[in-house]
A = this chain, B = another copy of it.
């Protein structure tokens, strides 16, 4: 395999291990350990690690090797603020007719999942809900047709996914999250962009606190307020 290809393989395998819980947030590894674990020679592994560091998924620490990112509350706050800005901009700019079919499919998936969400929640069911959750968000960003923004969004999303690995969800919380999606979807289908953006902002603020044990960081800390938008009355 060429060196270029090995580097890509290393990058991909690393993310697979990460999102399959084989690598743990906060964990330290030497580059040699990583190279053995991912079955990739050391030189392309070292280069892949630089990419992972650029994407914010690892930190390279002199003499110690590589530390898997352990997202701090501050980092999650920042990542969600970026999400809110990009997703609300997406809602405001995309032609809604171009995604109405995707929205209707999404609506059906949400309804189906909501009808079967009961405790105890298996890992597979949680994964299914989270993947339907991401789908709406990624569809909106993709519909912007801006690869630069899509790449920024996806790197940011990986960090959030990493934090989610440690989240514990109850069926009620996932039901709520899907309910919030329904509100966004319905507003988009009604061509009401302002309401959709306001519901999206609310949903993302809730998502930050839901299940993460982060109890509303926006109050009483020294971070500025999120974009002030009117809350839709429900």
Contacts and interface: CB of A to CB of B under 8 A. Distances in A.
Nearest to A75: B148
Number of copies: 2
A85 B75 CA distance: 20
Contact of A223 (B60, B86, B145): B145
A147 interface: yes
Q: Is the interface of A mostly helix, strand, loop or mixed?
A: helix
A38 interface: no
Given A4-B62, A227-B93, A148 B79 contact: yes
Interface stretch (A47-55, A174-182, A204-212): A47-55
Interface string A35-65: 0000000010011111101111000101000
A219 interface: no
5 contacts: A2-B62, A48-B50, A81-B148, A94-B224, A152-B152
Interface of A: 2, 4, 7, 43, 46-51, 53-56, 60, 62, 75, 78-79, 81-82, 85-86, 89, 92-95, 144-149, 152, 156, 222-228
